[in-house]
Amino acid sequence: MSTEGPASEAPPARGFEPDFEPERLLEEARRRTGLDEFGDPRFREPMERLLYALGSEARLTPAGRAAQRERIIGSLVTRLSAEAFIARHPEIEAERLEAPLVIVGPTRSGTTRLHRMLAVDPRHQAVLWWENRSPVPIPGTDWRRHDPRIDEAREEVRQVLTAAPQMKAIHPWDPLGPDEDALLCEHAFLSYVPESSLHVPSYRDWMQHQDVTPAYQFLARMLRVLQWQKRERGEQGTRWILKTPQHLGFIDSFCRVFPDARIVQTHRDPLAAVPSAASMYSTLWQITSDDVDLASVGRQCRDRLELDLGRFLAHRRLREAEDRGGVFDVWFEDMERDPIAPIERLYAWLGTPWLPETRAGLELWLIENAREKRPSHRYDFETFGLSREDLERRFADYRERFIVARRGTWTS
């Protein structure tokens, strides 16, 4: 796999712990499915690097080790099942992905709210949380009527919120709602999902310099699988609404696979976004580890955003210079003040008719998903070893262009 930066050392050939030995996990996935075709073989190296980090760095509890081992096997089962499903329904390969709208922005910058509001429109389609976790129907089930994958997703969310009830204040968990397509990239073993919930620095540092095109090719493949299923269930949406902070740092690779994508960038002051992200990540880390260094989480969130914003702004400048179409901006504060107004402007930018039922659907969503229905989320710099001065220095250019210059337009 090619790199965009310096290559790091490969994991030791015999450095895997027994729970995370690659061949054992591959064989277990084969045993559970009776299948042997995993698809694109480029998943092997990233999987092995992740397994090495899980065994040697993540400081997992026994329950955490079991959960992560099962998650890896689950992704391998998904790969096997997807290839078999496509072989049974080869027409899936012909599904056309029409100019997806992709939302990119820092973690904790309002991407979830914007994503879910856009998904209210039946003309759109989004990857639901349960579809992310299990994109392929369970063999022998009547998935067009009552899909057992939904019940499994409900139970998984229940377990997460039981293990970390504070997550209710941080993120609106909904097994039936739209969620990040990074969860599909996870099955290609090239995603931000591991670093968001685990201490895996060698995997994280290696991945950030990789060409992640294989992950986005796998994402496109799974979107076709899901789109075919949605059609079979009678859904009529045509434009995919995608979102995950990962795309911010890998937008070149994303656009290589989705060249006609329309891009929305969300903005929030890094002085708020970084500690908020650190609070969420540290809560997730503590589900599987009793040894979480909060300062390490803070540094990771800070450094990740600094790298990703730099990459995206470089892409944006090149895009503008080559007249390849602009980027639509949405500010966190604007969404706080009037969530519908930026979306109406976005529809005009896309050339999508703004219908009375569009506004009515959004107004109902806002009532049903009011923020005050969830506990408040509190965080600060010091808990995560962060300082205001350091963040101001690191993000000075971005803040000057996108945050400070607009402050006069926001009401307090």
pLDDT at residue number 4: 41
The mean pLDDT value for 367-372 works out to 80
- Residue 36, domain CATH: 3.40.50.300
Banded model confidence at residue 270, pLDDT cuts 50, 70, 90: very high
Phi–psi pair at 403, nearest 5 degrees: -115, -65
Beta bridge partners of 241: 101
Element (H, E) at 267: strand 262-267
The mean pLDDT value for 376-405 works out to 91
Q: Is residue 391 part of a domain?
A: yes
> What's the alpha-carbon Rg for the chain, to the nearest Å?
21
Between CA 380 and CA 135 the distance in angstroms is 37
Quote the tokens at residue 22.
């690659």
In this predicted model, which residue has the larger pLDDT, 372 or 314?
314
Is 159 a residue whose pLDDT tops 50? yes
Between CA 166 and CA 375 the distance in angstroms is 8
Q: Is residue 55 part of a domain?
A: yes
Question: What sign has the CA pseudo-torsion 179, 185, 187, 189?
Answer: negative
DSSP result, 170-207: HS---TTSB--THHHHGGGT-SSHHHHHS--HHHHHHH
Is 6 a residue whose pLDDT tops 80? no
Q: In whole numbers, what is the pLDDT of the chain averaged over residues?
A: 91
Element (H, E) at 265: strand 262-267
Q: What percent of the chain has pLDDT over 90?
A: 81
The mean pLDDT value for 40-56 works out to 97
Give the domain extent around 295: 20-139+147-409
pLDDT tens digits for range 83-121: 999 999 999 999 999 999 999 999 989 999 999 999 999
State the Cα torsion 353-356-361-366 to the nearest 10°: 100
The CA-atom distances, in angstroms, between 411 and each of 94, 145, 373, 406 are 49, 47, 23, 11
Q: Is residue 14 part of a domain?
A: no
Instruction: Identify whether the C-beta of residue 335 lies closer than 8 Å to the C-beta of residue 342.
Output: yes
Total number of domains constituting the chain = 1
Q: Is residue 361 part of a domain?
A: yes
Banded model confidence at residue 399, pLDDT cuts 50, 70, 90: very high
Burial class, 62, CB count within 10 angstroms (exposed 0-12 / middle 13-18 / buried 19+): exposed
Q: Is residue 1 part of a domain?
A: no
Instruction: Identify whether the C-beta of residue 12 lies closer than 8 Å to the C-beta of residue 55.
Output: no
Is 324 a residue whose pLDDT tops 90? no
Specify the pTM.
0.91
Is 3 a residue whose pLDDT tops 50? no
Cβ neighbours for 348, distance < 8 A, ≥ 6 positions apart? 354
Q: Is residue 4 part of a domain?
A: no
Q: Is residue 3 part of a domain?
A: no
